[in-house]
Structure 1
Amino acid sequence: MSEPRASLMTAEPVERAQRVLVVGCGGIGGITAACLTETWSALGVEVVGYSTNAEIAEAIRRHGYRLTGTEGTRSVSGQCLTELTPDVAPFDFIVLAVQPPQVERAAREALSWLKPDGAMVCFQNGLCEDRVAKIAGTDRVLGAVVAWGASMPEPGLFERTAAGGFAIGRMDGAPDPRLERLAVLLECVGPVTLSDNFAGARWSKLAINAAISTLGTIGGDRLGALMVSLTVRRLVLAIMTETVRVAHAAGIRLEKVSGTLDLDWIALTDEEMRVVGSPSLVAKHTLLLAVGARYRRMRSSMLSAIERGRPPAVDFLNGEVVERGLALGVPTPVNEAAQAMVHTIARRERASGMSSVYTLAESLGLR
């Protein structure tokens, strides 16, 4: 079970954060709501889940949040609303755990239930803090880079597929006392790091997700199975390289992911893009193989969204890179081609699988 550390049980920040709303009870949101409920409900923090999916909410009402995966199997009793009504009290934190295509709508719907000094917390991959800030205001938006994986095999069943924690902060890098309070609360889900260069952390994660999530959607398999393919690794490096170049053009100082994965190093140099093989390329491919082995069970949430008939988040990942690259004069042909292929898969014009990966690579001269 998730248990609060002694220092957290008596921490003053918790006294000021009594109500948390988790919007979106898919894999990430469901596990977050369950861990927060399990850890903090007895200590005076009220945690409320919110899902527009009646089947998910009913499953949670009947059986609790059923957890499985890396943390073991258990059920956590909790509440999950399907509607925010006027009698619902406002919240100190509103965690937005929906997919990127739904984040702006979710922020608008929940905004009236945010306390004046509260904050919305963006869990999405991409650069969604900028979008939510236009709705709630810059000072009412915090971000959390999620460095762990989860899925929802069926309504109300939440599988943690990879361990990890969070990096939290503000896109403008400003200090904010609410970050300490948020960190205390989220520690029960995973280790929390406060970042004074959150924009750099967010862009580094964007580089990873634009490659991993998108190619996971195109390849239609878990990360471990995909990363053993040389073709997949070549595409991963190409997508990451373009994203890093756009970030540099935007003046972003990239952060290491989980303190170890250095996107500035992993991005291909001009020489590496010209040669067939080199010691540095071997090192980069070896690192990707290690990433694939460590997160072998991770499955693209974008692929799951397509399977459920929902729009893919590719426009918030590769599309963000393409759009910003265009504005900054940085070519992004690999991201653009990958974005287009995901849309063909979403329209059921092409099936996910290695044949689609090979088609993409061949069109770009990467196979």
Structure 2
Amino acid sequence: MSNPIVIWGAGAIGGTLGAAFIRAGHDVIFVDNAADHVAAINENGLRIEGPIFEDTVTAKAFLPEDLEGTYERIFLCVKAHHTEAASYALVNHLASDGYVVSAQNGLNERVIAPIVGIHRVIGCFVNFGADYLKPGVVHYSGHGAVVVGELDGKLTERIETIYAMLRQFEPRAVLTDNIWGYLWGKLIYGALLFGTALTNDSIADVLANSKYRPVLTRLALEVGKVAGANNVVPEAFDGFDPTAFAPTAASSETTRSFDEMVAHNRKSLKSHSGIWRDLAVRKRKTEVDAQVLPVVEIGHSLGIPTPLAAKVIAMIHEIEDGKRPLDLANLDELARDVA
């Protein structure tokens, strides 16, 4: 077994985390399925740009099929819809007493666990701003929540070790006994981000627009109801307060949370979500089927209707297929069609 930290997925999240770990003195190996990105890292290092820190770090990078050896610590940082394939690719490289930290968006721990064993999965939640720019270059654009916890909420030696590592990246990182609360909280917030990604406007501009706050509130409420039915208590972060989107929430509380989310997003140089970037810049599939669709499916199994979430999924697919433009009119249609 080798001791380096393996970053599986060296894009926005993985590249930023890996570079920070290297700067803190850790040995890091990058694994990514983009051959040009792997080649660039090996030839010139990984360049991190942005206002938080700028540096070029040196590390070995591999395509998944070229990696050899077994490792104790693997941070899985791929897009949610690539989780299953990546889990099957990494499982033979994971030490018997090792673990996978799911630094992703969505409920990916549910996908990883059956493949590597639930005892080898660590829950992780990240909300910092970062973008993959080009092979060998990642932009780290803004601070955001970083949370880690055992899936069963227990305090263990390994979770304290991981927490200490993450604090080297984000000093305000949180160690929680309610990681599922943060993961579901991010799903609620993520639904809002998918709503903003139906347009070409920035995250902050859409969330600040009073015309669209009612439909976005209803969208968040749908996801929150499914979380509640699963006996999950969603957690707050970066201005997002799940209690402000509960059925009993006062309008003033909802307004306050919207305003705080706007303030947080205005501080970041990442004006648009990674979802929007996938649609508008990289012209590729988004994580909608891995993030929003499970909410619809779980809701259906519990008898909880989620028409807004289902409509958002359909709209995102139409944008992915070039059948729908990015436009604020999409939010008007969303509100009208499910009224």
Same fold (TM over 0.5): yes
2:232 is the counterpart of 1:252:
yes
2:293 is the counterpart of 1:319:
yes
2:319 is the counterpart of 1:334:
no
- Root-mean-square deviation (CA, aligned residues, Å) is 2.3
Q: Deviations over 1:38-65 (max 9, x none)?
A: 2224xxxx21001110111122122211
Distance (Å, rounded) in 1 between the aligned partners of 2:258 and 2:269: 16
Moved more, 295-304 or 62-71: 295-304
1:120 and 1:109, CA in 2 relative to 1: closer, same or farther beyond 3 A?
same
Moved more, 292-301 or 96-105: 292-301
* Cross-structure match for 1:173: 153
* Cross-structure match for 1:31: 16
Q: Would you say the 8 A contact 1:219–1:352 is kept in 2?
A: yes
Distance (Å, rounded) in 2 between the aligned partners of 1:285 and 1:302: 20
1:197 and 1:282, CA in 2 relative to 1: closer, same or farther beyond 3 A?
closer
Q: TM-score, normalization: structure 2? A: 0.91
Gaps of 5+ in 1: 1-15, 273-277
Q: Deviations over 1:53-89 (max 9, x none)?
A: 0111122122211111121322112221114447x22
Distance (Å, rounded) in 2 between the aligned partners of 1:255 and 1:224: 21
SS in 1 for 2:53: coil
2:290 is the counterpart of 1:305:
no
* Cross-structure match for 1:40: 25
- Which aligned runs of 4 or more in structure 1 are off by greater than 6 angstroms? none
Distance (Å, rounded) in 1 between the aligned partners of 2:146 and 2:327: 31
User: Which one has the largest radius of gyration?
Assistant: 1
Distance (Å, rounded) in 1 between the aligned partners of 2:273 and 2:153: 29
2:36 is the counterpart of 1:55:
yes
Amino acid of the structure 2 residue aligned with 1:197 = N
Distance (Å, rounded) in 1 between the aligned partners of 2:255 and 2:272: 25
Using the TM superposition, give the Cα deviation of residue 352 of structure 1 relative to its aligned residue in structure 2, in angstroms: 1.6
Distance (Å, rounded) in 2 between the aligned partners of 1:248 and 1:304: 31
* Cross-structure match for 1:283: 256
SS in 1 for 2:235: coil
- Pairing of 1:27-106 with structure 2 (within 5 A): 27-41=12-26, 46-85=27-66, 88-106=68-86
Moved more, 142-151 or 236-245: 236-245
Equivalent pairs counted in the alignment come to 337
Over the matched positions of the two proteins, sequence identity in percent amounts to 26
1:234 and 1:79, CA in 2 relative to 1: closer, same or farther beyond 3 A?
farther
Gaps of 5+ in 2: none
Using the TM superposition, give the Cα deviation of residue 198 of structure 1 relative to its aligned residue in structure 2, in angstroms: 1.0
Using the TM superposition, give the Cα deviation of residue 217 of structure 1 relative to its aligned residue in structure 2, in angstroms: 2.4
Amino acid of the structure 2 residue aligned with 1:207 = I
Q: Would you say the 8 A contact 1:21–1:93 is kept in 2?
A: yes
- Pairing of 1:176-325 with structure 2 (within 5 A): 176-191=156-171, 192-212=173-193, 214-257=194-237, 261-264=240-243, 266-269=244-247, 279-295=252-268, 297-306=270-279, 307-325=281-299
Q: Deviations over 1:221-268 (max 9, x none)?
A: 43123323224433332221111111111111222225x64302x115
Q: Deviations over 1:239-298 (max 9, x none)?
A: 21111111111111222225x64302x1153686xxxxx545543443343344344634
Amino acid of the structure 2 residue aligned with 1:58 = A
Distance (Å, rounded) in 2 between the aligned partners of 1:183 and 1:190: 10
Distance (Å, rounded) in 2 between the aligned partners of 1:17 and 1:330: 47
Q: Deviations over 1:136-170 (max 9, x none)?
A: 11100001100211001222211112203411012
